[in-house]
Structure 1
């Protein structure tokens, strides 16, 4: 069950999300002025080789803040002009909140939010991820890591195998995102041909994940943001 958070709770859980991330951190906030404490946590995450995705929506980002963000080895910085949503997550936990990632808000504003555990609130988590993917699709990629200087992130990437998985039964099949079903499961799916019907597994890595004929891969395998 989602946990209600006050201003202090949001700040505390946000720091936890960055500290405990194992794969990636995604920060969605129209306004950005990251406190020194959180920036230090992001440096630690970057040094661990985690992918850091930051999506903001106001063009008054200071030159110093922009420089601090781009100094992170593994950051992808996106600009979405009509962004108003605020959420922060890693691969297992998420905050949806009224609070921007702005140090003034942390110190002076009355904020609230909810803390979500992927295992306990998988539907909310999945739908939020889907919306963030849509925001990223419409956003402008402003910065991304320099591959020559980002050896930790490159090392963390695994080469994709030529084999894939049926998104319904998880049996091994040839890797082809346009044909993500085994023969038996495709025969059943083809009776209705609903390209948005919810399935169970990622076609690429075989992990248990929400998938469809339209989007047969999990976020890490499908979206360039999480690769």
Structure 2
């Protein structure tokens, strides 16, 4: 067993390799998901591995869990043939594991975290971390065994929100299992995304863009009138104020940690989806900054 301390790009690379090398199990456990493109590239190669069981767990945001797992990431994850997506509201830990190794880290699966934050972790590299649980238990206490057993309990007690299961048939006189396809067994998430404020706000924003016939008309639209802004977490309309870009409920949640660089969901000026490119420190999308400054004279 080898335990190695990781930081910065080392951590990102180790996580990419963990995903790349997984053949039997892949556990992705963290509160917030907005996958970096590099991780998506590694994961895409797993779509043709129905024997690989992927367990995703996210948490936080009980009032709107779609904020912790982006819709685009849910749409991406549900294309895998053998996957469970689970929810635990108290989750704050970050744990990524395959049958060969496990990473315990500060790193959320957020693109912003990968590119900007100071993140550290430790990797435990042991063949059979998930594949030979009996050996781990019988051999006594070990960091990799203890962590695996603990997160197995966390997974068992979490809420199953989505499950897609592969179907196999015996082939070659019973010597081989042939993959026949996958079926959704559980889906409690699609309805949440369909009814979430995200969809309504996105529709309104796209409609405004289609209706505006010129640049002048677009920025004269009432949605950009002086004094009006949007909560960068919920999209709710609030007074425009660069020092207070949250509605009261969102501010209460944000203030528990007070991370000024935490990636948020919407542009304070336009209300459009920001794809994690806004934060308390930078509440307006760069492309809207000049127009916002002209209109609000700050």
TM-score, shorter chain, exceeding 0.5: yes
Corresponding position of 1:145: 164
Counterparts of 1:92-107 in structure 2, within 5 Å, are 92-107=100-115
CA pair 120-136 structure 1, distance change in 2 beyond 3 A: closer
CA pair 93-146 structure 1, distance change in 2 beyond 3 A: closer
State which of 122, 125, 130 in structure 2 corresponds to 1:117: 125
Does 1 or 2 have the higher relative contact order (CA < 8 Å, sep 6+)? 1
CA pair 138-104 structure 1, distance change in 2 beyond 3 A: same
1:3 and 2:4 correspond: yes
Greater displacement, 21-30 / 105-114: 21-30
Equivalent pairs, count: 153
Greater Rg over alpha carbons, structure: 2
In structure 1, distance between residues paired with 2:148 and 2:83: 18
Aligned-CA RMSD value:
2.2
Corresponding position of 2:26: 25
Contact 2:85 2:161 in 1 (8 A): yes
Q: CA deviation at 1:41?
A: 1.4
The CA deviation string for residues 130-156 of structure 1, in whole angstroms up to 9 with x for no partner, is: 1111111111111111446x88xx858
In structure 1, distance between residues paired with 2:97 and 2:38: 17
Unaligned ranges ≥5, structure 2? 130-135, 137-141, 170-176, 180-298
Contact 2:16 2:39 in 1 (8 A): yes
1:134 and 2:160 correspond: no
- Report the 3-state secondary structure (helix = DSSP H, G, I; strand = E; otherwise coil) of the residue aligned with 1:145: strand
Greater displacement, 3-12 / 36-45: 36-45
* TM-score after normalising by structure 2: 0.48
Runs of at least 4 residues off by over 6 Å? none
Q: CA deviation at 1:92?
A: 1.1
Contact 1:31 1:56 in 2 (8 A): yes
The CA deviation string for residues 149-182 of structure 1, in whole angstroms up to 9 with x for no partner, is: x88xx858xxxxxxxxxxxxxxxxxxxxxxxxxx
Contact 1:46 1:52 in 2 (8 A): no
Contact 1:4 1:115 in 2 (8 A): yes
CA pair 141-82 structure 1, distance change in 2 beyond 3 A: same
Unaligned ranges ≥5, structure 1? 157-227
Counterparts of 1:178-197 in structure 2, within 5 Å, are none
CA pair 35-117 structure 1, distance change in 2 beyond 3 A: same
Corresponding position of 2:39: 38
Corresponding position of 1:52: 54
* TM-score after normalising by structure 1: 0.62
Corresponding position of 2:293: none
CA pair 22-62 structure 1, distance change in 2 beyond 3 A: closer
Contact 1:75 1:144 in 2 (8 A): yes
In structure 2, distance between residues paired with 1:41 and 1:104: 18
Corresponding position of 2:16: 15
